[in-house]
Amino acid sequence: MHGYECFQRSLYGRIFKNRNRSKIFQYQIILYKKLKQKKVMKKLSSPHVVKMYDVFNDPKTTYIILEFCKDGDLDHYIRRKGGMLNEKDACDVLNQLLEGFKNLVELGYIHRDIKPANSLVENGVHKVADFGFAKKVDITGRQLIKEAVGTPLYMSPQLLQSQPYTAKSDIWSIGMMFYEMIFGKTPWPCRDLNSFVRNMRSQPLRFPYNKKIGSETKSFLQGCLQYDEAKRFTWDQVLSHPIAKKDTGQIVQPKVNLDQRAQEIIRNMQKVIQAENIDIQKLFYSLDKDYSGQLNTQEFYRLLNKIDPRITTYEANHLFQMIDTSKDGRVSKSEFQSIFVDYDFSDLSDKAEQIITDLREIIKANNIEIQKVFDHHDKDKGGSLDRKEFAYLLRKIAPKLRDFEVEDCLKKFDKDGDGEISFQEFEAQLSFGVKAGGKHNRYNPVEEKSRKIISELKNIIKKYNLQLIQIFNNFDRSKDGMLDKSEFTKFIHVIDKSLYQQDIEIIYQKFDKNGDGISFNEFRQVLE
């Protein structure tokens, strides 16, 4: 183009700067299927829609000259803010974009490719962009559409499963984008289509426990992110919602205040629920033997143990005391649901754990062998993944992962700290819940539970300043200087009465190194 210089290229166009003036335009080469963008943009007029300056043609191409937004897109804006926005800022961004969408809706169009990359920023003003997939429809949501378009991460469940959908598909996308703005993550693991759809179907919409939000923000997200289109907000409900007037509502406090230990217990249990697709509400009812809608301490422990066999009685009792807010010795369905169903206990700052969860879900949903994943990325066939090979694997899942986030992931895999990941280290992180009971699952709940019980024993001894020799002598009833299995079982039952004999056998073996009973030296070596 005469008088302009190209300084950036993209998939669908190039950005030119006028040599003689300071004004910058975006010059976009529009493919045939994108010609509808011209028709839509001619009708739009809002400060929150990217402006179209001109359209012209030559024999080969249609050219659209657009406003250039020098501050990038919403994706980059969120990253510059540390990966997530505070609720007030997220609400402000949403309201600006809703003004743009309102203009589109009033003209009877839906966008069909709403995502942060299609929301541009210029001097603090957020604008809706890229109308290449826009379509004239019945905005009330009664008209069914069959054409599958959009970006999978933000597409509604109906689009993802190639089902007919309505104008409400955009409302789902807005909810996904708003959730990501606030929490820096999506509501469900989503690096892979199969795992994404499966998790949307099986796991409820949850909100991070450690980032409180307003009641109207929560209501808006719940209305937008309804799996069933019939229950999802309409455009009228979206545009008339208090959130569209920047009213986020009163902060919603959890019904139960949990300490760090309780949060860690539930966080680990949610990993198991996620990995094994456990229907915890169904499990609750199966253990509610008297149909009272409540569980006593024994039923509650059995419930936790069904979810995660690593749970100890001490952990179950600690959790029970915190969840039983009525202090009636029973946990009601509402108390249970307020913790296990309504909230997400993952650490929002732990990007590495989110990536590992996503990778695990991809492997599980697609029935991929962990060994094959490892071998494919072990390019030099050295039997381990170096930093470069590992980073390449991670960035296939999360292309925008930064170097320090790759390092954080590496630390979680590289248990021996040698800077490389062996297959055993790789498998240990990814096999959990993938092939239960199979050769690719090294998860051993009894082994892990025994380590936790020993850790609890150490804590009790330290807390009460107990003497190991005195404990040993108290349970050495035969006074032969050794603890046999019967004596050791009585000792362990002081800590956890619910342990099965097979569990105690494994713990016993950790003490009895040479198979002749537990001497005081062996007892001391484990517990000191």
- Can you say how many angstroms the Cα of residue 354 is from the centroid of all Cα atoms in its chain? 6
0.85 exceeded by pTM: no
Q: Domain 74-245 belongs to what architecture? A: Orthogonal Bundle (1.10)
pLDDT band at 139 (very low <50, low <70, confident <90, very high): low
Instruction: Name, of 13-17, 366-370, 471-475, the range with top average pLDDT.
Output: 471-475
Give pLDDT, residue 289.
80
Mean pLDDT of the 211-232 span: 97
Q: Indicate if the pLDDT at residue 43 is higher than 90.
A: no
pLDDT band at 8 (very low <50, low <70, confident <90, very high): low
Report the C-alpha gap between 195 and 203 in whole angstroms.
11
pLDDT band at 148 (very low <50, low <70, confident <90, very high): very low
CA angle 506, 507, 513 (to 5 degrees): 90
Instruction: Name, of 15-24, 103-112, 115-124, 424-433, the range with top average pLDDT.
Output: 115-124
Q: Where are the domains of the chain?
A: 4-67, 74-245, 260-344, 351-430, 445-527
Report the C-alpha gap between 104 and 45 in whole angstroms.
9
Give pLDDT, residue 432.
66
Name the β-bridge partners of 208: 344
SS3 at position 13: strand
Give pLDDT, residue 279.
83
- Phi, psi torsion values for 255, nearest 5 degrees: -65, -25
Instruction: Name, of 290-294, 372-376, 401-405, 433-437, the range with top average pLDDT.
Output: 372-376
Instruction: Tell me the residue type at 100.
Output: G
The fold for domain 351-430 equals Recoverin; domain 1 (1.10.238)
Give pLDDT, residue 5.
59
Q: Which CATH number fits domain 260-344: 1.20.120.610, 1.10.238.10, 3.40.640.10, 3.20.20.70?
A: 1.10.238.10
Beta-carbon contacts of 39 under 8 Å, excluding residues fewer than 6 positions away, are: none
Report the C-alpha gap between 471 and 491 in whole angstroms.
9
Q: Which CATH number fits domain 4-67: 3.40.50.300, 3.30.200.20, 3.90.700.10, 3.30.2090.10?
A: 3.30.200.20
Same fold, 260-344 and 445-527: yes
22-40 pLDDT tens trace = 454 544 444 434 455 667 7
Spelled out in words, what is the top-level CATH class assigned to the domain 445-527? Answer: mainly alpha
Give pLDDT, residue 34.
47
pLDDT band at 2 (very low <50, low <70, confident <90, very high): low
pLDDT band at 438 (very low <50, low <70, confident <90, very high): very low
Mean pLDDT of the 114-142 span: 82
The residue with greater pLDDT, 66 or 144, is 66
The residue with greater pLDDT, 17 or 46, is 46
Six token digits for residue 75: 């994706």
Six token digits for residue 132: 């290449």
Q: Indicate if the pLDDT at residue 19 is higher than 70.
A: no
Report the C-alpha gap between 175 and 224 in whole angstroms.
5
Report the C-alpha gap between 518 and 481 in whole angstroms.
9
Spatial contact of 317 and 298, defined as CB atoms under 8 Å apart = no
Mean pLDDT of the 144-157 span: 65
